[in-house]
Amino acid sequence: MSEDALVIFTPSGKRGRFAHGTPVLQAARSLGVDLDSVCGGRGICSKCQITPGYGEFPKHGVTVEPGALSEWNAVEDRYNRIRGLKEGRRLGCQAKVMGDIVIDVPPESQVHKQVIRKSATERDIAMDPATRSFYVEVEEPDMHIPTGDFERLKRALQDQWKIKDVTADLTILRKLQTVLRKGEWKVTAILNQGNHDEAHRILDLFPGYAEEPLYGLAVDLGSTTIAAHLCDLSTGKVLASSGLMNPQIRFGEDLMSRVSYAMMNPGGDVEMTRAVREAINNLVLSISEEAGISPGQIYEMVIVFNPVMHHLFLGIDPVELGQAPFALATSDSLTLDARALDLTAMNHNARVYVLPCIAGHVGADAAAVALSEEPNKSKDMVLIVDVGTNAEILLGNESRVLACSSPTGPAFEGAQISSGQRAAPGAIERITIDPITKEPRFRVIGSELWSDEPGFTEATATTGITGICGSGIIEAVAEMRMAGLVDASGLIGGPDQTGTPRAEPHGRTFSYLIHDASAEGGPRITVTQGDIRAIQLAKSALYAGAKLLMDAMGIDHVDRVTLAGAFGAHISPKHAMVLGMIPDVPLDHVSSAGNAAGTGARIALLNRAARDQIEATVHEIHKVETAIEPRFQEHFVNASAIPNAVNHFPELAKVVTLPDVSFNTGGSGGGEGRRRRR
């Protein structure tokens, strides 16, 4: 056994090697991992709770054995007896590293809480929810006409509301007679209308006329984040929006890593299903508390996700999605009991509606985007890009709509970046670089001030400057290209080539220094050559997917681009185009749709006709499979240049002049200059 072990922290992606016996909390602090502790590691505060992962982790290149952490000790045992630890949790101050290990830091253990930037978009929605209240007056029982109370309730619903085919489960039948008699044969029934010809389901009963508030959740279950909107089912008002990290990150940051985990670890799919359902239950509780309502008043959930998340949430082994022909167990919409999905935090009779998937790699989230943005009703040719760890792309107009997914990876979320972190207070989210002086100025989450403005230091004293999130790294790379610090191939120049000491030697390459707080014990935030490569890989996959759709459509340009998701709301079109993430269009033809998948889920929650609409629409959308298209690799390679090796960007050239620099030959230091052009 080697003398040290590889420790990988998620969701930050930070890793390092540590001697056996090193406390997890100490390892986290040395890497700058955001793991809380108040008591100084004495096992009192419990804020340093972590979740270790065991088994094969192909993405990280490690196998975690059962003994990778030390055994439970007396401190953990005492804390668990008195206050209780969630299943699978350990105290980071007590657990010691004994072998290669993957460790997840849950949201409640992070000092700088994740900012889930998927707020609800303002939208006019015609109200026709599937879950509604109905007041009825029921005939009293008559010994000469022997019928049951439930049968007479059904008859009342049919006579007074024209509602046929009503069902109820045993929990409703158990309370039915008491409620009827308490209300003197007048009751308010909460009903959920299933899809198409499915029967109405009674979810709850109240005596007499009851203006019982009804709430529903629209949930966007992404690979990296889970976002939810709590809606009033009577008015459509969004009472609260909240979110958290998807705990499945510890099993793999991208979808195929999670499929591999399920393949290589028996029961791994069950483990991931349990983790995500527990997270959604926690989200239900937190968003209810934020809105000041009882979780039992939530009667319905509409949920959207990509196909791998779809299968893992439903408890279906995702192995078939990891290999051609990428077959889904089902692509139809579903209406299910929340209890069957272990979603116990809501009303015990709550229902869950799952939007249909488009194809094996284009899921219900893409269907929700189509419902929200309606490319099938567009007069002009629109490209809709929902960017995340896995990008969904739609292209079309009222004549035809195409769709594909593209594996962009987690770099846009701030992962796999040397100074990267999730979007949290203290993270750099905006940056500009002076093309003459090469000096940066930036803004961090939690403050509206730029770093060169008076009061910035005081404004960020609480949060600090902790790293750079996805929007920050995207702008940083684009700014470096515009400032002549990076050439078209993605190489960072040395100090003699760029004229700034901020271009520092970094092994055989160079890095660019954005912020240095090492003198005060803070981080040095840099953009390394590896960071540039990670962004190039992500943006190349995105652009290649869009180009494949354009090829299939037989066009060489689009009329407009809509950016959806957290990315779309926080990155300027100019920076996206400088990188070559999206095709060239006039910048004023690029718009943001916010969290379009979440908006689509909200529309389906509040309007039954929208469900019928999207169920019909998905059958008309043609899927292009990037994994088997031979031109994908060609487009991918061309797109690795910044902005592109072969495609011109005349609209971008009207507003930005990119420096004609090359760091591929000559230069000193780093050695990157001696690398031959590929």
Domains of the chain are 4-109 (3.10.20.30), 131-207 (3.10.20.880)
Report, as an integer, the average pLDDT of 368-377: 94
**Res 589 pLDDT > 90:** yes
SS (H, E, C) 620-637: HCEECCCCCCCHHHHHHH
**Cα radius of gyration (the chain):** 27
Under 8 Å between Cβ of 435 and 484: yes
Q: Where are the alpha helices (DSSP H) in 107-221?
A: 149-161, 170-182
Residue 676, pLDDT score: 36
pTM over 0.85: no
Dihedral (CA of 249, 253, 255, 259) sign: negative
Whether omega before 505 lies within 30 degrees of 0, making that bond cis, reads: no
CA distance 174 to 240: 33
DSSP structure string for 290-313: HHT--GGGEEEEEEEE-HHHHHHH
Confidence of residue 673 (pLDDT cuts 50, 70, 90): very low
Provide, rounded to the nearest whole percent, the portion of the chain with pLDDT above 70.
94
Task: Report pLDDT digits (tens) over 225-282.
Answer: 899 999 999 999 999 998 888 888 888 877 888 898 898 889 999 999 999 999 999 9
Residue 539, pLDDT score: 93
Residue 566, pLDDT score: 64
Specify which residues 228 forms β-bridges with.
219, 242
Length of the chain: 678
For the record, the structure tokens of 285 come out as: 């509780």
For the record, the structure tokens of 117 come out as: 């930037």
CA distance 471 to 429: 5
Task: Report pLDDT digits (tens) over 409-421.
Answer: 767 776 678 888 7
Residue 114, pLDDT score: 56
Report, as an integer, the average pLDDT of 49-74: 89
DSSP secondary structure letter of residue 677? P
Under 8 Å between Cβ of 526 and 514: yes
For the record, the structure tokens of 634 come out as: 């060609």
Confidence of residue 146 (pLDDT cuts 50, 70, 90): confident
Helix (H/G/I), strand (E/B), else coil: 170? helix
DSSP secondary structure letter of residue 410? G
Confidence of residue 675 (pLDDT cuts 50, 70, 90): very low
Residue 240, pLDDT score: 93
Residue 223, pLDDT score: 85
Average pLDDT, the chain: 89
CA distance 83 to 92: 16
Under 8 Å between Cβ of 346 and 296: yes
Task: Report pLDDT digits (tens) over 515-533.
Answer: 998 888 778 999 999 999 9
Residue 668, pLDDT score: 39
How are strands ordered across the β-sheet holding 225-232? 238-245, 225-232, 215-221, 298-305, 351-354, 334-337
Confidence of residue 407 (pLDDT cuts 50, 70, 90): confident
Task: Please report, for residues 18, 49, 55, the alpha-carbon distance to residue 100 in angstroms, rounded to integers and kept in the order given.
Answer: 9, 19, 11
Residue 154, pLDDT score: 95
Helix (H/G/I), strand (E/B), else coil: 491? coil
C-alpha dihedral (479, 483, 485, 486), degrees to nearest 10: 60
**Res 43 pLDDT > 60:** yes
Whether omega before 11 lies within 30 degrees of 0, making that bond cis, reads: yes
For the record, the structure tokens of 210 come out as: 């009851």
Q: Which one has a higher pLDDT value, 126 or 188?
A: 188
Task: Report pLDDT digits (tens) over 542-572.
Answer: 999 999 999 999 999 999 999 987 666 677 8
Task: Please report, for residues 229, 242, 477, the alpha-carbon distance to residue 290 in angstroms, rounded to integers and kept in the order given.
Answer: 11, 9, 37
Task: Report pLDDT digits (tens) over 91-130.
Answer: 999 999 999 999 988 877 876 655 555 556 677 788 999 9
Report, as an integer, the average pLDDT of 22-48: 81
Mean pLDDT highest for which of 46-50, 73-77, 126-130, 177-181? 177-181
Neighbours of 211 (CB within 10 A): 10
